[in-house]
């Protein structure tokens, strides 16, 4: 029994009420919540301002913490989108007759209580609550203390809508923003069915190390693009530049380009205008350094060993020349974080081998790694990208907020 | 880098070779292994005898450790059964065109390297290796030191067959039977994709607490049967007795019976002949104690609080009277280990409510909990019964030894 146990018990009990809501009722609830958010914009912004006042504008988290008129509109739109997504719970996965005429069904059911630990982004509060409610789950939220005014107000609005729909307000519970709460949550195996850490690598590592509750890791993306000798070099250049610069701070952005030695002399100079335009700092291995140096590229560093396998989250790119597919595969095997990996090639058998042998959540042929996203993949909103292999791999979206349940009905059958 | 890192690296590399085997080739390999086991019976038994010689016959693990002629036949039969199970890897789960004409597929792929930690049962060595190979996975096995002669000989036979099929022998790796190895294995996130502990509750707790690698918990079964007021009492008696006595030491056996107060006076005496026949020790709450005492049952104890929620694994049964479904549900919610739970009733709306609201891997209406089993459910051999909710719930069998992979093919698409 820890100080938060009563809160978790209440959430677990409320989960039964959420499970009982019909799909149509959940749609109504989420649409109503969208209305309520919009109707309380001024108050939301005022509470958010109290959080912002405690943080210097120069803090890199300031922008994530900040809500605006447009961002609240975005949250409402996202709520209405989630409201009409198909309900993953209730699907019949197996239906068969087994020995002695027993009727066996496997159905998808809500997980129960979903715990999410996140940092200074109040929008996560709405995103997580909406996905959990849509899929029939209750949730316990542990947000960052920097966003506590915002989170408390937003959860208050959510709970007012829950009450309107006769759902116990504990179905969406905000935990106190104390550090000690995290440790208590991670050991609450009796009350919490899954924990998802959303945030920095250090948060994820802490959860991985300390959680007794099963977790989904939405980890770092150290992504590679391999430009194979037969690649269409114009397309390859577009894919590499897009992967690196279109949104450098996200996990599906490109960190390392591997280029076949035989085309490097022709290909690397083709990148220079764009690299220069975006002011990309290049960490080059010896051979690519020589080519880029001769071509007059300025933002050039000698790659150090730990520049490979590094998630830059910035206008920075590692480059290494390789002698063919096997060397590319073994580099990726050694340095990839198993998120998104691409090949650019016109040789179908090499493409097939790459797609088959690279061990990652998403593998690409002749396209940018930037497409790895729940929305793009047609799954709706996502909680993150899973780089582990159990339960969910790649975009972790509504469809994975369920577990399975076996239902056996008989007429007195026994098994000796 | 730990002492076993080179072994794990070799297994990871071998996994690529296993992944490449065709379904037909894997069938041949497993059938060949069945032949090899049978051809080496005498040597297997001799090695097993060396293990047996180190353990007193009175040790409860002695029977699990012991291999016999018939048990080796059973292993060979089981190998031939697994050999023809459909391959879970390769299945196309999603195939659609997304934005810009990108082709998106989600396919089932092998997990990679499966780690299994188990105790003194050499048959697990063959079971796990066969399921892993069938599904395209490599495995690292950490068996108990009591079974080390048997395990080393069996893995030697497996590796000889792997070599015949040009698969690196590291695809099935037996780790040294030292305790320190467990700690090293549990932190080998770079090389091992999943860890499954098979054995005692204390082993499972240790793994849960210390593993950085995702795990599947195949936990204890604290199973209940609720005899509702409208139950067919003859069927109810058969279900309860079967659940408790047919195989007391397994996880799907019955630990606690809940009986509606209104029928207890009629129903409990109906059990006495069978309870007596099987010499079942009853831990009864106050009300059921009085009834059984008056009916003359001898093996009767007053239930202590921790007799509820206890997995007896023996001819022992807890009994409690309840006033209707709600009390039964809240008792089960409080004490169940979420394995298998049953209702016996003729009231369909109460049955439906029970099946819907009980949170367990398997829920039963009018049948014994003893049916929870991968083979019975039509899944083939199982590694255990998962009582957690992620990835696999209920029988953990071949179909769950896979993960997913997203494959995106394009023609130069980028995302700004």
Could you state, in order of their start, the residue ranges of all structural domains in chain B? 5-217+388-409, 223-371
Residues 197-216 of B with CB under 8 A from A: 208-209, 212, 214, 216
CB neighbour list of residue B205: distance below 8 Å, 6 or more residues apart: none
Write the pLDDT tens digit of every residue in A76-106.
Answer: 999 999 999 999 999 999 999 999 999 999 9
Q: How far apart (Å, rounded) are the C-alpha atoms in residues B3 and B180?
A: 10
| Chain B: closest CA distance from residue A46 (Å) | 33
For residue A219, pLDDT beyond 80: no
> By C-alpha distance, which of B336, B92, B81 is closest to B221?
B336
The pLDDT > 70 percentage for chain A reads 100
Residue recorded with tokens 């059938």: B31
Residues of A in contact with B414 (CB under 8 A): 238-239, 242-243, 246, 367-368, 370
Write the pLDDT tens digit of every residue in A179-204.
Answer: 899 999 999 998 999 999 988 888 88
In CATH terms, the superfamily for domain B5-217+388-409 is: Aldehyde Dehydrogenase; Chain A, domain 1 (3.40.605.10)
Q: Which long-range contacts (CB under 8 A, 24 or more apart) does B190-193 make?
A: B191/B5, B191/B8, B191/B9, B191/B11, B191/B12, B191/B113, B192/B8, B192/B113, B192/B114, B192/B115, B192/B140, B193/A389, B193/B111, B193/B112, B193/B113, B193/B114, B193/B403
Residue in A102, A235, A371 closest to B371 by CB? A102
Residue recorded with tokens 């995106």: B408
Contact B413 A366 (CB under 8 A): yes
Residue A213, classed as helix, strand or coil, is: coil
Quick count: other Cβ atoms within 10 Å of Cβ A75? 23
> By C-alpha distance, which of A10, A386, A382 is closest to A174?
A10
Q: How far apart (Å, rounded) are the C-alpha atoms in residues A63 and A122?
A: 11
Residue in A16, A193, A366 closest to B411 by CB? A366
CB distance from A96 to chain B under 8 Å?
Answer: yes
Q: Which long-range contacts (CB under 8 A, 24 or more apart) does A353-359 make?
A: A353/A325, A354/A226, A354/A325, A354/A328, A354/A329, A355/B407, A355/B409, A356/B19, A357/A329, A357/B16, A357/B19, A358/A329, A358/A332, A358/A333, A359/A333, A359/B112
Residue in A366, A405, A406 closest to B410 by CB? A366
CB distance from A306 to chain B under 8 Å?
Answer: no
Supply B246's token pair.
């047919």
**Do residues B303 and B283 make contact, with C-beta atoms less than 8 angstroms apart?**
yes
Residues of B in contact with A396 (CB under 8 A): none
Question: Which of A189, A337, A389, A396 is the mutation pick for testing B, counting most B CBs within 10 A?
Answer: A389
| Chain B: closest CA distance from residue A49 (Å) | 31
Q: How far apart (Å, rounded) are the C-alpha atoms in residues A240 and A233?
A: 10
Q: How far apart (Å, rounded) are the C-alpha atoms in residues B202 and B198?
A: 11
**Do residues A169 and A163 make contact, with C-beta atoms less than 8 angstroms apart?**
yes
Contact B363 A406 (CB under 8 A): yes
Question: Which of B93, B410, B416 is the mutation pick for testing A, counting most A CBs within 10 A?
Answer: B410
**Do residues A192 and A113 make contact, with C-beta atoms less than 8 angstroms apart?**
yes
* Mean pLDDT score, A116-121: 90
Contact B366 A16 (CB under 8 A): no
pLDDT number for residue B330: 92
Residues of A in contact with B208 (CB under 8 A): 212
Residues 316-355 of B with CB under 8 A from A: 351, 355
Contact B371 A415 (CB under 8 A): yes
Residues of A in contact with B216 (CB under 8 A): 390
pLDDT number for residue B199: 80
Q: How far apart (Å, rounded) are the C-alpha atoms in residues A216 and A393?
A: 9
Name the DSSP letter for residue B215: B
Strands across the sheet containing A402-413: A92-97, A103-110, A402-413, B362-367, B340-344, B223-227, B254-260, B316-322, B281-284, B300-302
Residues of A in contact with B365 (CB under 8 A): 407-410
- Which H/E stretch holds residue A286? helix A286-294
Beta bridge partners of B344: B227
Residue in A368, A409, A410 closest to B414 by CB? A368
Question: Which of B107, B220, B274, B367 is the mutation pick for testing A, counting most A CBs within 10 A?
Answer: B367
Write the pLDDT tens digit of every residue in A388-399.
Answer: 899 999 999 999
- Which H/E stretch holds residue B384? strand B382-386
CB distance from A115 to chain B under 8 Å?
Answer: no
Quick count: other Cβ atoms within 10 Å of Cβ A391? 22
CB distance from B101 to chain A under 8 Å?
Answer: no
CB distance from A97 to chain B under 8 Å?
Answer: no
CA distances from B131 to A293, B116, B382, B395 (A): 53, 12, 8, 13
Q: Which residues of chain B have pLDDT under 70?
A: none
Contact A371 B16 (CB under 8 A): no
Angle between helices B69-83 and B41-53 (to 10 degrees): 120
| Chain A: closest CA distance from residue B265 (Å) | 21
**Do residues B236 and B344 make contact, with C-beta atoms less than 8 angstroms apart?**
yes
Q: How far apart (Å, rounded) are the C-alpha atoms in residues A171 and A83?
A: 17
CB neighbour list of residue A163: distance below 8 Å, 6 or more residues apart: A169
Residues of A in contact with B376 (CB under 8 A): 98-99, 415
**Do residues B244 and B253 make contact, with C-beta atoms less than 8 angstroms apart?**
yes
Question: Which of A403, A411, A416 is the mutation pick for testing B, counting most B CBs within 10 A?
Answer: A403
Residues of A in contact with B413 (CB under 8 A): 366-368, 371
Residues of A in contact with B235 (CB under 8 A): 411-412
Strands across the sheet containing A172-174: A172-174, A138-142, A113-117, A194-197
| Chain B: closest CA distance from residue A134 (Å) | 18
* Mean pLDDT score, A128-146: 96
**Do residues B125 and B155 make contact, with C-beta atoms less than 8 angstroms apart?**
yes
Name the DSSP letter for residue A145: G
> By C-alpha distance, which of A21, A125, A129, A134 is closest to A84?
A134
Contact A242 B415 (CB under 8 A): yes
pLDDT number for residue A61: 86
Q: How far apart (Å, rounded) are the C-alpha atoms in residues B257 and A181?
A: 37
| Chain B: closest CA distance from residue A41 (Å) | 30
CB distance from A144 to chain B under 8 Å?
Answer: no
Residues of B in contact with A368 (CB under 8 A): 413-415
pLDDT number for residue B273: 97
Domain at A223-371, CATH class? alpha beta
């Amino acid at each position: 029994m820890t100080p938060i146990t009563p809160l978790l018990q209440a959430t677990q009990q409320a989960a039964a009420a959420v499970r009982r809501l019909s799909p149509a009722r959940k749609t109504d609830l989420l649409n109503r919540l969208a209305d309520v958010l919009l109707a309380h914009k001024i108050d939301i912004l005022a509470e958010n301002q109290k959080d912002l006042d405690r943080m210097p504008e120069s803090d890199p988290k300031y922008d994530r913490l900040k809500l605006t008129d447009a961002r609240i509109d975005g949250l409402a739109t996202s709520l209405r989108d989630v409201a009409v997504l198909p309900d993953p719970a209730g699907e019949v996965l197996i239906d068969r007759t087994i020995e002695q005429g027993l009727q066996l069904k496997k159905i998808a059911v809500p997980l129960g209580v979903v715990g999410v630990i996140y940092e200074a982004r109040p929008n996560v509060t709405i995103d997580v609550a909406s996905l959990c409610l849509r899929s029939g789950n209750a949730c316990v939220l542990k947000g960052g203390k920097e966003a506590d005014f915002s989170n408390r107000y937003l959860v208050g609005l959510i709970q007012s809508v829950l009450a309107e729909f006769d759902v116990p307000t504990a179905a969406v519970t905000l935990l106190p923003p104390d550090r000690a709460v995290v440790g208590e949550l991670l050991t609450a195996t009796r009350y919490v069915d899954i924990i998802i850490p959303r945030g920095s690598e250090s948060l994820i590592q802490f959860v991985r190390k300390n959680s007794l509750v099963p977790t989904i890791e939405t980890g770092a993306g150290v992504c590679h693009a391999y430009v194979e000798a037969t690649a269409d070099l114009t397309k390859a250049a577009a894919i590499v530049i897009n992967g690196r610069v279109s949104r450098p701070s996200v996990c599906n952005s490109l960190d390392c380009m591997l280029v076949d030695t035989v085309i490097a002399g022709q290909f690397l100079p083709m990148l220079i205008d764009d690299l220069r335009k975006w002011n990309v700092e290049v960490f080059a291995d010896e051979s690519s350094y020589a080519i880029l140096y001769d071509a007059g590229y300025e933002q050039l560093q000698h790659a150090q060993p730990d520049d490979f396998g590094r998630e830059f989250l910035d206008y920075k790119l590692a480059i290494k020349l390789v002698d063919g597919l096997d060397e590319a595969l073994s580099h990726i095997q050694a340095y990839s974080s198993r998120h998104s990996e691409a090949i650019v090639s016109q040789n179908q058998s090499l493409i097939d081998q790459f797609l088959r042998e690279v061990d990652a959540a998403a593998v690409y042929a002749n396209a940018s790694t930037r497409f790895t996203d729940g929305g793009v993949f047609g799954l709706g909103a996502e909680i993150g990208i899973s780089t582990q292999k159990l339960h969910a791999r790649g975009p972790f979206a509504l469809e994975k907020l369920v577990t399975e349940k076996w239902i056996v009905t008989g007429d007195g059958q026994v098994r000796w």
